[in-house]
Amino acid sequence: MDTQDSTIGSDLATVASTVHLEHLDDGAIAVITLDDPDHSNAMSPDMGDAFTGAIRRIQNDPKVRAVIIRGRGKDFSIGGHRDMLIKLGSGDLKEAELHDFMLAFYNRWLPMLDLPVPVISALQGDCIGIAPIFACVADIALADETLNLQVTFAGLGLYPGMALPPALLRKVGAQQAALLLIAGEAISGREAERIGLVARCVPTGKVFEEALKIAREVVAAAPTVVRRLKCFLRIKREDFLLELEANAAQQGKDFQTEEYRSRIANYLPNHYD
């Protein structure tokens, strides 16, 4: 983490407590947990560094055959931490610095695309802002009935980052992507299943159990075939390089507008105030 990132992320949740990695079934299943439930698992630079670290620890582990990503508590994640987002709009950073910060922020979370084994996301409660990227880029996304998924960028006067627009377009098609990205509609787990954003919606409290069941089915399959299929079906990070650059450039401009500053000040009051 460079000095600029450290300054923006230093007063947020600490690395040690915000992401946990554990192994199940003799190491065949890795579980990565976003673990800051007191802040609804808001995504900070520090949490992103811890997330990258967890990915790197399992990326080349031959024992790992499936990965589950989940959020502890009632919410999966409310996306980028508001303190971070307010600071980015404070005027303290120049456009080029904002661009570089955001590109680095994206690259803290996108290493999940580098995993050679299937990734299963288990989503529940609020999944807001940039957090829906976990529904888009996982190989298999699952929802709890409590899921409340909303892409809030347009409502903040901020263009979406982390290649979320093409990722959503690939997953649900142009009309549903427009409802989510432009209209900012909030959708339930059942609606996410209906439009194909998640593979399955399960009863309240059962999403991790369902993810674990599917992970064990993956582990039971022939590993060489699974890896080849994963390679064929997956989103490749290199396909989004130009989009990531364009997102960072546009967000660098949007952070400097008065419209953004006025809208971010009262963002998600139920979570922060």
Q: Write out pLDDT tens, residues 219-266.
A: 999 999 999 999 999 888 899 999 999 999 999 999 999 999 999 999
Q: Is residue 214 part of a domain?
A: no
DSSP class of 184: -
Number of domains in the chain: 1
Both structure tokens of 37: 């439930």
In which band, very low, low, confident or very high, does the pLDDT at 17 lie, cut at 50, 70 and 90? Answer: confident
Q: Is residue 211 part of a domain?
A: no
Q: Positive or negative, the Cα torsion across 117, 70, 187, 177?
A: negative
- What is the reported pLDDT for 16? 52
Residue 71 three-state SS: strand
In 22-40, which positions are buried (b, 16+ CB within 10 angstroms) versus exposed (e)? eeeeeebbbbbbbbbeebb
Report the 10 Å Cβ neighbour count for 194: 13
The residue-averaged pLDDT of 56-75 equals 97
Q: Residue 120: which CATH number?
A: 3.90.226.10
Could you tell me the residue range of the domain that residue 159 belongs to?
A: 3-205+219-265
Distance CA 201, CA 2 (A): 40
Distance CA 260, CA 239 (A): 29
Find all residues with CB under 8 Å of 252, minimum gap 6, and list them: 95, 96, 97, 98, 99, 102
Q: Is residue 255 part of a domain?
A: yes
In which band, very low, low, confident or very high, does the pLDDT at 8 lie, cut at 50, 70 and 90? Answer: very low
Q: Is residue 13's pLDDT more than 50? A: no
Q: Is residue 213 part of a domain?
A: no
Q: Is residue 210 part of a domain?
A: no
Q: Is residue 70 part of a domain?
A: yes
Helices 45-59 and 95-109 pack at an angle, to 10 degrees, of 40
Q: Is residue 73 part of a domain?
A: yes
In which band, very low, low, confident or very high, does the pLDDT at 212 lie, cut at 50, 70 and 90? Answer: very high
pTM of the model: 0.93
- What is the reported pLDDT for 104? 98
Q: Is residue 178 part of a domain?
A: yes
Instruction: Tell me the per-residue pLDDT of 84-122, one tens digit each, with 9 for 90 and over.
Output: 999 999 999 999 999 999 999 999 999 999 999 999 999
- What is the reported pLDDT for 205? 97
